[in-house]
Homo-oligomer: A and B are copies of this chain.
Amino acid sequence: MKCSYCSRDAVYYQRYAGKHLCRKHFTAFFEKKVRATIKKYRMIETGDRVAIALSGGKDSVTLTKVLMELYGDRRDLEFVAVTIDEGIEGYREKTLKIAREVTRSVGIEHYVASFENNFSAKLDEIVKVGEKLPCSYCGVFRKYLLNKSARNLSASKLATAHNLDDESQTILMNFINADIDRLARLIPQRDQEGLVRRIKPFMELYEKEVVTYGFLKNYPMSFDECPYSYFPVRAVVRDFIYEFEQKYPGRKISILRSLEKLSNGLKITNPQIELYKCEICGEPTSQKLCQACKLVNELKVKINIRHNEDLSLTKS
Of the listed residues A178, A236, A237, A257, the one surrounded by the most CB atoms of chain B closer than 10 A to its CB is A178
* A264-B265, A265-B270 known; A175+B258 contact, CB < 8 A: yes
Complex CA distance for A237 and B176, rounded to whole angstroms: 12
Contact with B along A242-285 (1 / 0, CB 8 A): 01100110010011011001101111111000000000000000
* A240-B240, A247-B232 known; A178+B258 contact, CB < 8 A: yes
Complex CA distance for A178 and B168, rounded to whole angstroms: 12
Which of B180, B237, B244, B261 is A178 in contact with, Cβ under 8 Å? B261
Q: Tell me the minimal C-beta distance from A61 to chain B in angstroms.
A: 31
A196 at the interface (CB under 8 A from B): no
In the assembled complex, which residues on chain B have CB atoms less than 8 Å from the CB atom of A243?
Answer: 236, 240
Complex CA distance for A22 and B177, rounded to whole angstroms: 29
Chain A interface mostly helix, strand, loop or mixed?
A: helix
Number of copies: 2
Complex CA distance for A251 and B254, rounded to whole angstroms: 21
Which of B233, B248, B265 is A248 in contact with, Cβ under 8 Å? B233
Complex CA distance for A180 and B258, rounded to whole angstroms: 7
* A233-B247, A268-B265, A268-B268 known; A254+B177 contact, CB < 8 A: yes
Q: Tell me the minimal C-beta distance from A219 to chain B in angstroms.
A: 32
- Would B265 and A178 count as touching, CB distance under 8 A? no
In the assembled complex, which residues on chain B have CB atoms less than 8 Å from the CB atom of A270?
Answer: 265
Complex CA distance for A233 and B247, rounded to whole angstroms: 8
Chain A interface category by residue count? 20 to 34
Q: Tell me the minimal C-beta distance from A46 to chain B in angstroms.
A: 31
In the assembled complex, which residues on chain B have CB atoms less than 8 Å from the CB atom of A180?
Answer: 258, 261-262
A172 at the interface (CB under 8 A from B): yes
Nearest opposing residue in chain B for A244, CB measure? B236
- Would B269 and A178 count as touching, CB distance under 8 A? no
In the assembled complex, which residues on chain B have CB atoms less than 8 Å from the CB atom of A258?
Answer: 175-178, 180
Q: Tell me the minimal C-beta distance from A124 to chain B in angstroms.
A: 28
Which of B172, B178, B237, B244 is A257 in contact with, Cβ under 8 Å? B178
In the assembled complex, which residues on chain B have CB atoms less than 8 Å from the CB atom of A262?
Answer: 180, 262, 265-266
In the assembled complex, which residues on chain B have CB atoms less than 8 Å from the CB atom of A177?
Answer: 251, 254, 258
Q: Tell me the minimal C-beta distance from A93 to chain B in angstroms.
A: 35
Contacts A233-B248, A264-B265 given; 7 further ones with Cβ under 8 A? Answer: A175-B255, A177-B258, A178-B258, A178-B261, A180-B261, A236-B240, A268-B269
Interface of A toward B, CB cutoff 8 Å: 172, 175-178, 180, 232-233, 236-237, 240, 243-244, 247-248, 251, 254-255, 257-258, 261-262, 264-270
Q: Could you list 10 A-B pairs, sorted by A, with CB under 8 Å?
A: A175-B255, A176-B258, A178-B255, A233-B248, A236-B243, A264-B269, A265-B266, A265-B270, A268-B268, A268-B269
Closest 10 CB pairs of A and B: A265-B265, A178-B254, A178-B257, A240-B240, A178-B258, A264-B269, A265-B269, A180-B261, A175-B258, A265-B266
